[in-house]
Amino acid sequence: MFLDNRDPDSGANRRQQQFFCNRDFVRFVGLELTAEIDRTYPTRKDRDARTILGLSFGGLNSACFGLLAYDDFRGIAMQSPSTDPVSNLLEAYEQAPKQDLKFFLSVGRLEGLAEPVRQLKAILKEKGYDLFYKEVPYGHEEP
């Protein structure tokens, strides 16, 4: 299920309020949204079957879920996650205790995000996380 971060009345983009490690948003997704999905669809109702995926700011959001919602999601998938808006994201991963998480992390070699994403990859590897990492020969747009 994909979440539309626009205000339904005005159409205003709310991603900056939602995607920057907002604990209320994390709690909403982890408690309310997953419960609704479980009621509506035939799902496995445990964290081992759940993955959260995001691209760019959504990838940053997924990274935040790895820090704040590891009890709700085992899979954390990030495609070209932006790291700038949360200045201490890499440090938070370095300092946080290792959790039982699996990571997918990808980035385009031709984009400005490549180096911070490589740093995140190094941190995750150093901590011993289950990690699949991929770099592609593109920038921060569709090929």
pLDDT reading at 64 higher than 90? yes
Higher pLDDT, 121 or 137: 121
pLDDT reading at 3 higher than 80? no
Beta bridge partners of 78: 54, 105
User: Is-above-0.85 flag for pTM?
Assistant: yes
Domains by residue range for the chain, with CATH:
15-136 (3.40.50.1820)
DSSP-derived secondary structure for the chain: -----B-TTT--B-HHHHTTT-HHHHHIIIIIIHHHHHHHS----SGGG-EEEEETHHHHHHHHHHHH-TTT-SEEEEES---TTSTTHHHHHHHSPP-S-EEEEEEETTSTTHHHHHHHHHHHHHHT-EEEEEEES--SS--
pLDDT reading at 126 higher than 60? yes
Higher pLDDT, 86 or 46: 46
Predicted confidence at residue 13, as pLDDT, reads 87
Predicted confidence at residue 5, as pLDDT, reads 80
Q: How many residues does the chain have?
A: 143
